[in-house]
Amino acid sequence: MPDIAIAVTAGLKRDLAVRRIRSTIVDVPTRRRHKLSSLSVTAQSYVIVEVLLENGAEGVGEAATLGGPRWSEESVEAIKANIDAHLAPALIGQPADRFEAAAARMDAAARRNNAAKAAIETALLDAVGKTLGLPVAALLGGAARESFPVLWTLASGDPGQEIEEAEAKLAARLHRTFKVKIGAQAPEADLARLGRIARALGDRAALIVDANQAWDETTAIRCLPALAGLGVRLVEQPLPAWNVAGLGRLRARGAVPLLADESVFTAHDMLEVARQAAADAVSLKLVKHGGLLNLKRVAGVAEAAGIGLYGGCLLESSIGAAAHLNAFATLRELGWGCEHFGPQILADDLVTEPLRFEDFHVRLPSGPGLGVTLDRDRLRRYARDKEEPCSTA
Distance CA 304, CA 232 (A): 26
- Domains in the chain: boundaries: 2-133, 138-363
Catalytic residue numbers, as ranges = 181, 339
**Fold designation for 2-133:** Enolase-like; domain 1 (3.30.390)
pTM, two decimals, is 0.92
| Contact (Cβ atoms closer than 8 angstroms) between residue 363 and residue 146 | yes
User: What is the pLDDT tens value at each position of the chain, 393 positions in all?
Assistant: 454 434 334 455 678 999 999 999 999 999 876 555 555 578 899 999 999 999 999 999 999 998 777 777 899 999 999 999 999 999 999 999 999 999 999 999 999 999 999 999 999 999 999 999 999 999 999 999 999 999 999 988 999 999 999 999 999 999 999 999 999 999 999 999 999 999 999 999 999 999 999 999 999 999 999 999 999 999 999 999 999 999 999 999 999 999 999 999 999 999 999 999 999 999 999 999 999 999 999 999 999 999 999 999 999 999 999 999 999 999 999 999 999 999 999 999 999 999 999 999 999 999 999 999 999 999 999 999 865 455 566
Contacts of 59 (CB under 8 A, 6+ apart): 50, 51, 53, 96, 122, 123, 124, 125, 126, 127, 128, 129, 130, 369
The superfamily in CATH containing domain 138-363 is Enolase-like C-terminal domain (3.20.20.120)
Distance CA 84, CA 63 (A): 14
Distance CA 302, CA 272 (A): 10
**For 184, which DSSP code?**
S
